[in-house]
Amino acid sequence: MQTQSVSIKELRDNLAQLIEEVAIAKKRIEITKFGKIKAVIVPIKEKPIKEKKGVDWTKLPAFGIWKDRKDMKDSAKWVRELRHRESTRRIAKLLHDRPIT
């Protein structure tokens, strides 16, 4: 691994570029202050990506709870009708509660 020494000012001025060099070129950068090493930036060790276990939704008890209902075969249509019913109820209530002048 290559080692490069930079001052704090140089680090401040070129941080993005130096981080890329560490990440891509796998360089080791020593940060110095008044000629003394104060910190080191090194690339992280790559961890192997673990395969996530997927959830089998069909095994959950709530899955398909309404599968046998005839009125919910088309869920989008069912929700649309439900929203329409609720909105007309609100409008009717507003009209009914409005004082007559």
pLDDT tens across the length of the chain (101 residues): 788 999 999 999 999 999 999 999 889 999 999 999 999 999 988 777 677 777 777 777 777 777 777 777 787 888 898 899 888 888 887 777 766 65
Q: Say which residues have a Cβ less than 8 Å from residue 18's Cβ, sequence separation at least 6.
A: 6, 11, 29, 41
CATH class of the region 3-41:
alpha beta
Report the pLDDT value the prediction gives residue 98, as an integer from 0 to 100: 66
Report the pLDDT value the prediction gives residue 68, as an integer from 0 to 100: 76
Q: Where are the domains of the chain?
A: 3-41, 65-97
Report the pLDDT value the prediction gives residue 2, as an integer from 0 to 100: 85
Report the pLDDT value the prediction gives residue 99, as an integer from 0 to 100: 64
Report CA dihedral (6, 10, 14, 15) to the nearest 10 degrees.
70
